[in-house]
Every structure is written in C-alpha cells, then in structure tokens.
Chain A
C-alpha cells in the first residue's frame, strides 16, 4: 500500500486545498448541529477531517497547509464536545482535554529538546516530577498557587540544567540511557524521603505522596460569577482544562519565537550536525544546556498540571511510561513542528482513552479477546485493559514510524521573507542552464513527499 497509489486514486476528486478545507469545515459544523445521532455525527466529522489531511496540494506552502490541518483538528475536537454534551461521554471529553493539555506540554518540551536541538531526552518524566512535586509541596505548605507554580517550573528548569551540565557531554545514546535512569532514581527518592510527603496542615505522612493539592483559581471559580457567564455544563475540571490550554498557549508562543529566530536556526544546525556547528564558531554545549533548561521549564509546567489534575500525587504517577507516551505524541504530531504537538497529543490521548472505553469485561471485544487468549494458553490470566492500551499505542507508533516518520504536521522550513528579496519557493526552482548541464546526479527526491 504505497502512498503514491492513494494519491493517484484521489487525483480526480482533488480540488484547491483552501476550497476543499472550507467545504469540510462547513460540513463538520453542519453535521454537528444537524445530525442527532451522536455516533454518526462523530464519524462523519472524522471523515471530513481525514479529507483535509489527505489533500496534497503543492500550490500552498507547508505552513498554510499545516495551519489548516491544526485548525481543523482542534475544531473537530471542540465540535465533539458539543456533540457529546448531553451524553455520558461528556465526562470522557473533559478528562481527555486535561490530558491533552498535559501531553501537549510534554511534547512541546520534547520538541524544543529533540525536534529542534536533537537531544535524545528519555527523562521527560523526571522533569515532570520536579515540576509536580515542587508545585504541590509549596502550595500544600501554604504558598499562593501562582508562586508555587513559578517555583515548580523554575525548579524543573534548574534541575534539567544541572543534569545537562553533568551528563550532556555523553554521546546521544548514552545520554538517553542516563536520562531514563535519573527519572527512576528521582521516583525512588520520592518513595523514601519523608520531607517530600505532605498534606495541608501536616507534614507527618507515613506513606509517600502529596495530598489535597490546592487547584488554581478554585476560589474564583466558586464565586459563581463565572458559572453564570459560561455554559450550564461548565464544571471546575473543564475550567482547569481552559487554564491548562492558556498555559499551553503561552508555552507555544515562547517556543515559536525561539523556533523562527536565528537562535532556532543555530539549534537546528546543532541537531543536523553538532561538530560542524562547533567548527563554524558556535559553543554547542552552552546552547544544549540552555535548551535542556527550557525543555525543563515546559515539562515542569506539565508536572504542575498533573498535580492539579490528580490532586494527589504519589511516586506511581511518575513511571517511565509517561516519557514514552510523550515521545509517542511528539512523533505522531511531527518532530520539529510546534503546532503538530497539539495535534499529536489530541490523537494520542483520544486513542489511549478510547481503548480504555473498551474496558468492560462483558464487551464483545473483551470476551472475544479473552477466549482467544484462553484458547492459546489455558493457564493465562485474563486480559487487562492496561495491556491493551499499550498495544494500541505501540501499534500506532510503529505505523507512524514506518509510513509517516515526519508525523501529521511535518516540519516547516524557515524561509525569511524580507522586503524586496523574493526567492523562488523550494521545489519550484527553474534551474539555470549552466548548473543543469553540470549536474551529474541531480535528485528530485522531494516529489514523493507525503503528509499522511
């Protein structure tokens, strides 16, 4: 199943990308409000979204296309909120939103570290832990939540900087291994260190954990002012989701400035070839340490978000699995594309959570699966949903790495548009006669480029 054949099939029904997307948008909104059957509405909306994704119009820049894709995905997700409003699944959507925010922050952190600079950081969860624990501890001990949050993200940044300074001189793969270990060490530390346990008004806990963590703006929310202003189905968790979305927005703005600046260009050069960047006069190590700190800042914000989502944090919240989930969202979204991190997290979280919906021992699917397993090995224990989740996520990751390693929203080239200096777009160059005749092996390997 090559992508080429899919594109060939699509050719007759291919129209201008912007027109196609506008129609799809209109259809999505129409379906949302006109179709009473929720399942049908969701499926049709999803089809409209997929249609936007499989378009492959060369007439627009990658940036335009990616922006439309992002807009379509986010719109689709928000429309699902409206469709599912009065169903039992509205709760599912709110929880999904919270974790989308969480994983977007983690994926953004990875995008700065790996997508931009090429650092193979498998210690995301360590950065998250520091952010969560510092925010949680300080606010439980009475510090205003906002300041606790600031200390939390700064703590994660400083921690990441220290780790980077001591271990980043290692080669990529060794650093990756060390970074996994650091997360685990920190988790064990959390298990045994009494001063990292607390609940409001008491520091003497016998079991590890931080309990009753205060949530941001809870007082403001309870003052009911906001309840009147918003929809009737507003609840605090949804409100928390919006707070998280706001944090994501700020992180996104900051990372975007870095991305599309000379600084970002320098970081990309490090990603492409550390040695050459060094030989061209740049102090590579310094930049890598700074970038680890920024990635810590963002992952730390994710940690604070996690503390607010769970209210109670224990060492079990910080298993290495979180790191690999973050990498999955990052790869699905598109390494090197900030907007892609939102898309990647939406897809990842929905997949992960949807497979959880199957967690019903009586469902046809689970019964079928169980009888199959029992048939293969009568001694085997019953299948648990936690394994199924991992299988689904793993399979999707493999499919992406195999068929679309650049992810849903591929990286965009930085092409400075400066007054009066117009250069032709990549791929559309008209070769001058002399270079053409001298080209011994001109390649045109960007033709088969595909987005899905």
Chain B
C-alpha cells in the first residue's frame, strides 16, 4: 500500500501562536487514520491548510503525488479530497437533498447556458443525482428527512447529513473533523459504525480528528497520530500509541 497523503515540514503560525510547527506525516491509502490531540493543538488548522482554506507558511502537502500548496479549495476538492468542518456547516436554509446535490462535480446545470438550452440533459442529471442522494440517505437510514430544511435537524441528524453530503462528491479521501462532537454516546457508536461501513464499501481513505482518546482506541482504526502543540508527538497502531509515554503526558499532564 502506498501513501495517499504526504506532509513534509509544514508550518502555520497565527502571529505568536504556533498552530502547526514543522509537522510531517504520511497517510496510507485505504486506511482509517485518526488524528488525536488536546484542544487547540492545531488539528483543525491542519485540515484547513490541507483543504486550502488557510495558506500554509511553508512546507509541502502531496496528495496522490500532486502538490496541494497554492491550490484553491475547489481545485483540491476536484482532486478527490473532501472534508467536513468541526461545526457542521450545513446550508441552513436548504433542504437535506439540496445540501447533498451541491457537491457532485461537473454538473451539467452548473453552466448557465445549459439550464436554458439543454434542459433535458440537466433534468436527466438531476434525476441521477437525486437517485444517488436517496441511496446514500437509505444507507445512513435517514431517507425520511430528505426534504426537511437542515436548520430543523438536531445535532446528531446534522452530523449524519454532513456525512451524507460529503459522500456525494465521490471523494477518494475524507477528512472528518470531529464527526461525533456534540453527539450523545449511543449515536457516536452508530456514527462510527456508519463511517467504517462507508469506508469499506466505497474504498475510501478516511482521516478522523478526535480529541477524546478513548473513542479512537478500537480495532477498526488502522493508524493513530497524536498531535500536541502543532507537532506529531507519537504515532502507530492504537495499541502501541496507548502505551506511549509522550501520549500519556500530552493528555494527562506530567
């Protein structure tokens, strides 16, 4: 198995705050990788830099061999790298189905001329997309919410819809920023199961941010990075990481 994501000597400072400080890491293709670390250690910032939302100060990020630094967020998305946000950013005044029908690439209806000239083709594609959206909703068992405004959903439902939406863009790799934050324990378990299911079914590489170590220490997780103060302080399979002295320090203090 090869590395799908390779980060080398990455830096991102906010004034005096060293959010990412000479960070290097590799993510294997088709793995489920977890990134854990205390609050404020730069995990979300790392996702922001990878996805092009923030510009890195220096360093290199290669996705499938393509350098991501300098690309716009939309270009990075088109390479097959999709992400979610920690504060589930659904389009509040759109329905669940509408939310999901945005991400697919190369839609016919994205060209102004097509919606006037080739209405048939646009409709055809819409039907396909709707079918696909409904299938994904079925898979996540939330089809009945399809035409609901997302502003009316609960926290847990929103997280599921967020997952459904990101799957619509046919990604190769998912970056999930705390997909279970603010969700009650019973749903957390279910959400994780759904993520594993999706990953296997669609052959995805998944990287998950978690700040709760216990949640991530399970067999389905292939590899764990532990981050602290903008750097990777430990890595390995969950069992190894758990025993690592630095990790205990980062989480429990000295």
A contact residues vs B (CB 8 Å cutoff): 257-258, 261-263, 265-266, 268-269, 272-273, 275-284, 290, 411, 413-416, 418-419, 421, 423-427, 429-432, 434-435, 437-446
Contacts and interface: CB of A to CB of B under 8 A. Distances in A.
A282 B112 CA distance: 14
A440 B108 CA distance: 39
Given A411-B93, A439-B157, A269 B149 contact: no
Contacts of A430: 144
B66 interface: no
Contact of A262 (B93, B94, B107, B156): B107
B157 A435 contact: yes
A413 B97 CA distance: 11
B235 interface: no
B39 interface: no
Q: Dominant SS at the A interface?
A: loop
A262 B53 contact: no
20 contacts: A257-B116, A261-B109, A261-B115, A262-B109, A266-B102, A268-B98, A269-B94, A279-B52, A279-B53, A280-B77, A283-B74, A411-B93, A414-B94, A415-B95, A416-B97, A421-B130, A426-B149, A439-B156, A443-B152, A446-B152
Interface in B28-53: 51-53
B131 interface: yes
Contacts of A443: 152-154
B184 A440 contact: yes
B85 interface: yes
Interface residues of B, number: 61
A429 B78 CA distance: 35
B103 A281 contact: yes
A272 B105 CA distance: 19
Nearest to A265: B98
Interface in B124-157: 125-127, 130-131, 134, 141-149, 151-157
A118 to B, nearest CB: 11
A416 B130 contact: yes
A424 to B, nearest CB: 6
Nearest to B82: A280
A307 to B, nearest CB: 28
A87 B168 CA distance: 62
Contacts of A435: 141-142, 145, 156-157
B91 A268 contact: yes
A284 B52 CA distance: 14
A45 to B, nearest CB: 34
A258 B157 CA distance: 30
A426 B146 CA distance: 8
